[in-house]
Chain A
Amino acid sequence: MDMRPQPGEPGVFHVIDGDRPLDWERVYRDHVASIYRLLYLKVGNQHDAEDLTSQVFLEALPRLRSSASGGEVHTYLVMTARTTLAGHWRRRLGVQVTTIDENLVSAEGPAPAAADPLPRIRRILAKLPPNYRRVLELRFLERCSVGETATRMGISAGNARVVQYRALQRAAVLGQEVGA
């Protein structure tokens, strides 16, 4: 059963006898966690990470060959994640807040970006002045609200927002110095 692409139906591919169908459930199962994690670390919230992960798989799965190796599949998914993330920021804020490094795309196995982010975060926090470190620890590690953070630091809520903003600015600069 060798069917040719029908005229006027670009991109619609027909069954070629002898080729195995892609085991998309296996591909999905093997990669969903790593792609979700990669995207979560780039958007920082569950809602967007789920949305983007869905987009990546719905777009990439129909294009994968059944003969693609695990490394090839991973690379294609990461590349799709990269363009999906870029589109997300373009639509959302008009600026690429975070990106997936193009160099990661050709890397085999889990992308370095998906490595444990904690050691780097600890190094950044350790370099911050005490009140900056404190505000970020209370907010991001202890999950305190602005009100609770202010109370525990003995400052006003407005002041806590200012300290948080300055601390994030400083963390951004330190993040570049600390390196991966």
Chain B
Amino acid sequence: MNRRIRRVSRWVDDLLHDRSPRRFGGAEEDAEVLAAAIELQGASPGAGLPDPQFVESLRQRIARETQGEVPMSARVSRRTLLAGGGLAVATAAAGVVIGDRLASPSTAQKELLPVGATWTAVARLSDVPVGTARTFDTGSVRGFVVNRGGAIAALSGVCTHLGCLLQLNATARRLDCPCHSAAFGFDGSVLFKHMPDALPPLPQLESRVREGQIEVLTV
């Protein structure tokens, strides 16, 4: 017990001196005590007001470290967000999806219409029998092609919640989000979700069938 009292006291000392408190093992037994000390720090004079010197030096650091990068990727449009690969798409798309979620909480399904795009074959029609779906990844777009009663459609592969990449659950005939236990149907509609936020349906991608190939419009 004395050990716990001493190390919490040291931790509080660090806090009161605005130092980063040192690490210690077994903190879970005192997590609530530490949280109480942190909360009380909110009463300290000037608590939570950033040091103007810090604000300026971080501004300079951002300018330096993201040189070129910020203005460049900030010009990302919905179209380019669908471009790029794998994880980068998921993380970058998180931003755009959140934007969409807030900007239009409506549950109407959107259609993504890229400009200056090309048709890319993503699957053979014969490989997607009625009632099934297939994952595709063109390197610039990741999504699913689905066959709903003979009608072919392509859906975005990025969850409309926080931008995680969806996984095809062929057995249950749905698209599962591994992040927050949500799932979409093959029509893009929300089947279930476990978060309080509104969850828009998956956007459709432009698709068509040409000479037995399912093609998706990509940039």
Contacts and interface: CB of A to CB of B under 8 A. Distances in A.
B66 A61 contact: yes
B13 to A, nearest CB: 7
Contact of B39 (A48, A51, A69, A175): A175
A143 interface: yes
Given A10-B86, A65-B99, A24 B37 contact: no
Interface string B190-210: 000001110000000000000
A13 B74 CA distance: 9
B14 to A, nearest CB: 7
Given A32-B55, A54-B58, A117-B39, A64 B50 contact: no
Contacts of A4: 83, 140, 219
Most buried by B among A21, A50, A51, A65: A65
B94 to A, nearest CB: 7
Contacts of B28: 93-95
Interface in B24-70: 24-25, 27-28, 31-44, 47-51, 54-55, 58-59, 61-62, 65-66, 69-70
Size bracket, chain B contacts: 35 or more
Contacts, number: 255
A136 to B, nearest CB: 6
**Size category, A interface:** 35 or more
Contacts of A50: 50-51, 54, 58
A48 B36 contact: no
Describe A's contact surface by its main secondary structure: helix
Contacts of A32: 50, 55, 58
Given A50-B50, A139-B16, A165-B5, A65 B95 contact: yes
Nearest to B163: A63
A46 B18 contact: yes
Contact of B99 (A12, A72, A175): A72
B102 A75 contact: yes
A10 B88 contact: yes
Contact of A62 (B58, B70, B98): B70
Contacts of B31: 93, 95-97
Contact of A66 (B75, B79, B84, B86): B75
Nearest to B54: A50
B170 interface: no
Contacts of B139: 7
B178 interface: no
Contacts of B40: 44, 121, 136, 139-140, 168, 171
Contacts of B154: none
B61 A54 contact: yes
Contacts of B42: 40-41, 44, 117-118, 121
B102 A13 contact: no
Given A10-B89, A24-B70, A36-B50, 7 more contacts: A11-B87, A44-B41, A45-B19, A48-B21, A58-B66, A93-B28, A168-B12
Interface of A: 2, 4-5, 7, 10-16, 19-22, 24-25, 28, 32-33, 36-37, 40-51, 53-54, 57-58, 61-69, 71-72, 75-76, 79, 92-98, 102-103, 106, 114, 117-118, 120-121, 124, 136, 139-141, 143, 145-146, 161-162, 164-165, 168-169, 171-173, 175
